[in-house]
Amino acid sequence: MIDLLAQADTAVDGLKAVGAGLGYGLAAIGPGVGIGLVVGNAITAMARQPESAGMVRTTMFLGIAFTEALALIGFVVFILLNFA
Amino acid sequence: MIQPLYGLHFPPIAELLEWPGILFDGSIIELNKVGLIYLWAMAAPLVLFVLAIRRSALVPKGVQTVAESSVDFVRENVVMQTIGPDGMRFMPFLMSLFFFIFFANITEVIPFIQFPANSRMAAPAVLAIIVWLVFNAVGIKSQGFFQYFKNTVIPPGVPGALLPLVAVIEFVSTFLVRPFSLAVRLFANMLAGHLLLVTFAVLTTALWTPGPLAAIVWAPFVVLIGLTGFEILVAFLQAFIFTILTAVYIGGALHPEH
């Protein structure tokens, strides 16, 4: 009986780790694509109009910051599941 | 926890983030490493600017160049791009935010300190709350309470049927998600960077053994050096992003969309 309980405990720990890993991995997909789009289009804009590079760069960092937030929340969930 | 790499001792996360008191141990003003880093982050910009202004000359050199170019940087890239010329009165606030965050972050790569104070949630959360209070106060002061609330929650040009949904989304994203994401962005970036550096430092020391592994022992060390450079960039970028988002929020409260 105690053996079984211990086994269930390890299984729960294992599932937690799997969930945390999957959670972070899934949370990173969208922002990865998103940041790629933001930076790619910013580079296109800078190449077309080098004189507006300053404005584009500022807006690009803003876009990255908003997009990246989702991945970072995924990372925080990972930390919480694994260590809290 | 199960150790996936046998023989490799990875320190538990509490060991990396929780520090014992150093000064005034046991009293109410007990300071640990994190607290001392915050004091340094407060004092370092102060010293920098006092030094810069004491030997100020028309043609700047030395410390004055650093101080003036940093002021210029925040003015041109943060204030002018987001708020406009009438945002210059927020310049001291934005400069303080930028320098405090930057100096609290940069300790991540300074030898023997090697801990970014912003990887503890406390200061990012307090800073985000301050920013939240400031941009709401600016909005209420410049537009009046109800006008500000209406302009924030109801964006112009939304069809009537969608209005309830959009209003709820705007309310949540402006008043609840903004401070949360501001704090989490800074905190999680610095924590992730710290864990990354620790991981490769641990790998470097663990693999530093003679034997068949000697062919690859240098690999994590090279990555560690590269990541250290990357973290300097991140420390700067996070301070910049926090400041520019603050400026965007203040600008949005100051000039509503029509």
Predicted ipTM of the assembly:
0.76
**pLDDT tens column, A39-79:** 999 999 999 999 988 889 888 988 888 888 888 888 888 88
Predicted local confidence at residue B251, as pLDDT: 92
Identify whether the C-beta of residue B135 lies closer than 8 Å to the C-beta of residue B175. Answer: no
Predicted local confidence at residue B4, as pLDDT: 47
Predicted local confidence at residue B1, as pLDDT: 45
- B250 lies within 8 A of chain A by CB: no
Give the mean pLDDT of chain A. 87
pTM to 2 decimal places: 0.87
Q: Which residue has the higher pLDDT, B19 or B207?
A: B19
Answer whether residue A84 shows pLDDT above 70: no
Q: Which residues does B116 contact at the CB level (< 8 Å), separation at least 6?
A: B104, B105, B106, B107, B108, B190, B191, B193, B194, B235
Predicted local confidence at residue B7, as pLDDT: 61
Identify whether the C-beta of residue B22 lies closer than 8 Å to the C-beta of residue B36. Answer: yes
Answer whether residue B2 shows pLDDT above 60: no
At residue A1 the predicted structure's pLDDT band, cuts being 50, 70 and 90, is low
**pLDDT tens column, B167-206:** 999 999 999 999 999 999 999 999 989 988 998 888 888 7
| Chain B residues near residue A69 by CB distance under 8 angstroms | 181, 184-185
Answer whether residue B94 shows pLDDT above 90: yes
Compute, in degrees rounded to 10, the torsion defined by CA atoms A75, A76, A77, A80: 130
Please say whether the dihedral angle defined by the alpha carbons of residues B16, B22, B27 and B28, taken in this order, is positive or negative: negative
Q: Residues of chain A whose C-beta is under 8 A from some C-beta in B? A: 13, 54-55, 58, 61-62, 64-65, 68-69, 72-73, 75-76, 79, 82-83
Q: May I ask the CATH class of domain A2-83?
A: mainly alpha
Answer whether residue B6 shows pLDDT above 60: no
Q: List the structure tokens of B248.
A: 């965007």
Give the mean pLDDT of chain B. 87
Answer whether residue B59 shows pLDDT above 80: no
- Among B82, B118, B181, B236, most A C-beta atoms within 10 A, so best to mutate, is B181
Predicted local confidence at residue B3, as pLDDT: 46
Q: Determine the residue type at A76.
A: V
